[in-house]
Amino acid sequence: MRLRSVVLHSFFIFALPGFIAMDVKAIQEHIVPDKTIKIGLLIPDNNSIAAKHGAEMAIRKANENGGLNGKPFRLVIRSMEGPWGTGSKQAVDLIFEENVCAIMGSPDGRNGHLVEQVTTKARIVYLSTWASDPTLAQAFVPWYFTCIPNDLQQADAFIEEIYNKKRLTKVATVSDKGYDSKLAVESLLKKTKLAGKADPLQLFYDSPDKDFIDLLDKIKKAEISAIVLFGNPSSSLRLIRQLRQRKMNQSVFGALSILYEDELSGQYLKDYENVVLVSSGNRTGSKGIVFREDYKKTYGKIPGAIATYSFDGMSLLLEAIRIAGPDRDEIQQSLKKIHFEGVTGSIQFDDKGKRVGTPVLIEIKNGIPVTLER
């Protein structure tokens, strides 16, 4: 308990000069043998069932295959819901009370930074499966990995499709004013400048429940030909419906953030008809088909983006542990070298823990995602 308090106190002064490094040897000595191999999962709140389900399915499959030399894996879940800083406290609890050998998380960017700081000081892997904040990888922390394409990578895919392939020049971004949405818009602006393209018109909304009459009027007046949506899923879906009600024919593109299925019904893909989205997995490949069928059989619904990335992330961690064993340092080294084929495609990491490659785009046709050629 004393060690736990020291680390938690150390975290809260992380940003201050003279931060005191933790005693790594003491941390390692604190770990006691256990009959299971524990892996921590941090979810945004108790309603975040998609990430939980995806991770649980991966754990169950690994245990059906014998675990690690007969020793079963165990998922330890903690919610980050609560006052600012709750996520760091939960990460400390997973590390020192539960003695997990790695942590996976599906929080947003701000909470992702909290977890990254704690896990770095404790020298334990943190694998992010939802935050697309590119600054998480810019700290050059060897304990951080992400299996989701970040905002800059998503921006590259959008620019290629919008400006180069479709040759659309009048582009607008529409998003809420949250931390992650602002970063996503900034990433697209940065990439358009580098590509020598015209800056998109930036449009924001304050309330997720409002109508978009004024915003749509601005889009029409500016003769916008392409709209890129970031942020709140339900608001993005409402805007798409209002575009159609007004018979506006702009091409619509959506970042991964608008596919947050915990806020959407199971029929949301039908509402995204003709919308181009960042792909959350190879739905037509053998791995994708098996995963989708197993998930639907187990949970009674088709998996969305969160569940798919959570399943891939946990499967990836389990493979790294199978190769390296439960030692925290060895898991980190295993992830640095791994080349994993998952439902979301090939996963390997660069020297900053970032997933390598540009994401694939899909277009919804008759309620079915169709992969766009690059």
CB atoms within 10 A of CB 249: 10
- Residue 295 placed within a domain: yes
Examine the pLDDT at 7 and tell me if it is beyond 90: no
- Residue 355 placed within a domain: no
Average pLDDT over the chain, rounded to whole? 88
- Sole residue written with tokens 């000081």: 121
* Structure token digits, residue 340: 């994993």
> Does 142 share its domain with 157?
no
> Does 143 share its domain with 167?
no
> Does 320 share its domain with 249?
no
> Does 207 share its domain with 228?
yes
> Does 7 share its domain with 82?
yes
pLDDT-derived band at 323, boundaries 50, 70, 90? very high
Which residue would you say has higher pLDDT here, 297 or 141?
297
pLDDT-derived band at 369, boundaries 50, 70, 90? confident
Q: What is the value of pTM for the model shown?
A: 0.88
- Residue 169 placed within a domain: yes
- Residue 343 placed within a domain: yes
> Does 341 share its domain with 327?
yes
| Cα–Cα distance for residue pair 146/136, rounded to 1 Å | 9
Read off the pLDDT of each residue in 212-237 and give the average, rounded to a whole number.
Answer: 94
Could you read off the pLDDT of 170-217 as tens digits, one per residue?
999 999 999 999 999 999 999 999 999 999 999 999 876 678 999 999
| Cα–Cα distance for residue pair 171/113, rounded to 1 Å | 31
| Cα–Cα distance for residue pair 217/202, rounded to 1 Å | 14
- Residue 353 placed within a domain: no
> Does 257 share its domain with 131?
no
pLDDT of residue 367: 82
Count of domains forming the chain: 2
Read off the pLDDT of each residue in 25-44 and give the average, rounded to a whole number.
Answer: 71
Q: Residue 273 belongs to what domain range?
A: 151-281+360-371
* Structure token digits, residue 309: 């990335």
* Structure token digits, residue 265: 């019904």
CATH code at position 81: 3.40.50.2300
pLDDT of residue 28: 44
Contacting residues for 119 by C-beta, under 8 A, at least 6 apart: 91, 95, 103, 125, 126, 143, 144
pLDDT of residue 33: 54
Examine the pLDDT at 64 and tell me if it is beyond 90: yes
pLDDT of residue 206: 85
> Does 25 share its domain with 144?
yes
pLDDT of residue 29: 43
> Does 365 share its domain with 224?
yes
* Structure token digits, residue 144: 């951080």
By C-alpha distance, which of 265, 223, 260, 219 is closest to 239? 219
> Does 194 share its domain with 266?
yes
pLDDT of residue 284: 59
- Residue 163 placed within a domain: yes
- Sole residue written with tokens 């490659």: 357
Examine the pLDDT at 97 and tell me if it is beyond 90: yes
Contact 95, 103 (CB under 8 A): yes
> Does 60 share its domain with 116?
yes
Examine the pLDDT at 158 and tell me if it is beyond 90: yes
Examine the pLDDT at 3 and tell me if it is beyond 50: no
Compute the C-alpha angle 369/372/374, nearest 5°.
155
Examine the pLDDT at 245 and tell me if it is beyond 60: yes
- Residue 352 placed within a domain: no
Read off the pLDDT of each residue in 85-101 and give the average, rounded to a whole number.
Answer: 95
Percent above pLDDT 70 for the chain: 88
- Residue 98 placed within a domain: yes
> Does 291 share its domain with 275?
no
